[in-house]
């Protein structure tokens, strides 16, 4: 029980799935209501802004394709956060793990130019998995060994990775033919082809969907998945049930980091063909919203990721049509997150007034 200013938050013994769905729906309605007020305050026509957002998300074949492209890395970062949160381990470092995978993919692509396409791509994604797994294991080991908060460590590792990447892009890895902070293009044997002609949809979406099934199987059909979920529900009880907490923590965060790194590798070899700081528009942080919106279930994460991808893609069209600042898209995503967190709290907890004796 949590006490705040004479009130307490008490966890409800049970929660109806219907109530959870209704809470999410109400949270989204409130979020869009607040967004409408923000759009109006920017001097734009609210109805036209929302029509532009819808057209930019699903109004044409190319719009749908771009929504899928935006949603692809969000599926993977959402899955990464889902695995960690299922174990009550707060991985806020998916952004850094995303870039760790991107850096590993570029390193392999430039270090092994003699490889043919299939071995090259397989090696790239394997390297990304290892890089993300190692980065995810670092906060786990610090938590197990020294009691460090995984929240603080994962957040700080984001900055470590991004600043190290900034150094590489302004020195050793910078394209000598460009003044921008970016690498040279990777070789064609390191690129994966587009899977739908006339669009930018690449093999990353297939990897993301395969990962959804793998994560679902891991969480709900394996012993490790049971241990992760049991530890997340009650760490003390799970220990007495014979579940090793130290191993569970390390494996959970390592798996979470590896999944997030796949998203970074996919963006490099499937979409951009080079490494830049702007290959992510906050995919790691948005993955937190995706995981919460998807109720920490792998299949629902897909719908949540496409929703957030549509929101971002539609925001670009909204900006062009109505002149609404693109920064408002970040504000809308933040409003959605706050509304979902409030819905999550009110669904699983009840507020009571505490009478001091």
- pLDDT tens digits for range 312-337: 888 888 888 888 887 777 787 778 77
Quick one: pLDDT at residue 247? 95
pLDDT band at 3 (very low <50, low <70, confident <90, very high): low
Question: Do residues 72 and 205 make contact, with C-beta atoms less than 8 angstroms apart?
Answer: yes
Quick one: pLDDT at residue 357? 47
CA 94, 100, 106, 107: dihedral to nearest 10 degrees?
-160
Alpha-carbon distance values, 41 to 35, 44, 194, 321, 351 (Å): 10, 7, 41, 16, 33
Collapsed DSSP state (helix, strand, coil) of residue 87: coil
> Domain segments of the chain: what residues?
43-324
- pLDDT tens digits for range 161-209: 999 999 999 999 999 998 899 999 999 999 988 888 889 999 899 999 9
Q: How many residues does the chain have?
A: 357
pLDDT band at 353 (very low <50, low <70, confident <90, very high): confident
- pLDDT tens digits for range 17-69: 788 788 888 888 998 899 899 888 888 888 888 888 889 899 899 999 999 99
Quick one: pLDDT at residue 354? 67
Q: Evaluate whether the domain defined by 43-324 bears CATH number 1.10.3470.
A: yes
Pick from 12-21, 62-71, 208-217: least confident = 12-21
Identify which has the larger pLDDT, 3 or 127. Answer: 127
The mean pLDDT value for 336-351 works out to 79
Is pLDDT at 145 greater than 60 in this prediction? yes
Question: Do residues 295 and 15 make contact, with C-beta atoms less than 8 angstroms apart?
Answer: no
DSSP state of 59: S
The span from the CA of 257 to the CA of 251, in Å, is 10
Q: What is the percent of the chain with per-residue pLDDT over 70, rounded to a whole number?
A: 97
Those residues with Cβ within 8 angstroms of residue 118's Cβ, 6 or more apart along the chain or in another chain: none
The span from the CA of 186 to the CA of 112, in Å, is 11
The span from the CA of 293 to the CA of 305, in Å, is 9
């Amino acid at each position: 029980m949590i006490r705040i200013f004479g009130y307490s938050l008490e966890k409800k013994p049970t929660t109806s799935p219907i109530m959870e769905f209704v809470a999410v729906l109400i949270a989204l309605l409130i979020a869009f209501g607040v967004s409408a007020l923000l759009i109006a305050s920017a001097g734009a026509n609210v109805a036209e802004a929302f029509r532009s957002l819808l057209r930019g998300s699903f109004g044409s074949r190319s719009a749908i394709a771009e929504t899928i492209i935006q949603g692809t890395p969000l599926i993977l970062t959402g899955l990464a956060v889902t695995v960690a949160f299922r174990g009550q381990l707060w991985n806020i470092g998916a952004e850094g793990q995303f870039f760790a995978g991107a850096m590993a993919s570029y390193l392999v692509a430039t270090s092994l130019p003699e490889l043919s396409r299939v071995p090259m791509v397989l090696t790239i994604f394997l390297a990304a998995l290892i890089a993300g797994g190692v980065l995810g294991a670092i906060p786990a080991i610090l938590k197990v060994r020294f009691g460090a908060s995984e929240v603080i460590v994962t957040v700080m590792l984001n900055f470590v990775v991004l600043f190290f990447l900034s150094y590489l892009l302004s020195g050793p890895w910078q394209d000598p033919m460009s003044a921008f902070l970016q690498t040279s293009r990777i070789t064609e044997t390191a690129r994966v082809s587009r899977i739908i002609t006339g669009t930018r949809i690449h093999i990353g979406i297939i990897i993301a969907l395969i990962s959804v099934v793998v994560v679902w199987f891991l969480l709900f059909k394996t012993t490790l998945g049971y241990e992760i979920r049991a530890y997340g529900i009650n760490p003390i009880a799970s220990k007495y049930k014979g579940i090793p907490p130290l191993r569970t923590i390390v494996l959970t965060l390592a798996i979470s980091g590896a999944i997030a790194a796949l998203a970074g590798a996919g963006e490099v070899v499937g979409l951009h063909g080079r490494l830049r700081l702007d290959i992510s528009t906050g995919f790691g942080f948005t993955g937190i919203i995706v995981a919460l919106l998807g109720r920490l279930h792998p299949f629902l994460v897909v719908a949540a990721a496409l929703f957030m991808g549509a929101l971002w893609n539609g925001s670009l069209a909204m900006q062009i049509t109505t002149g609404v600042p693109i920064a408002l898209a970040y504000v809308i995503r933040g409003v959605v997150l706050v509304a979902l967190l409030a819905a999550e709290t009110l669904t699983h907890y009840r507020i009571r007034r505490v009478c001091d004796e």
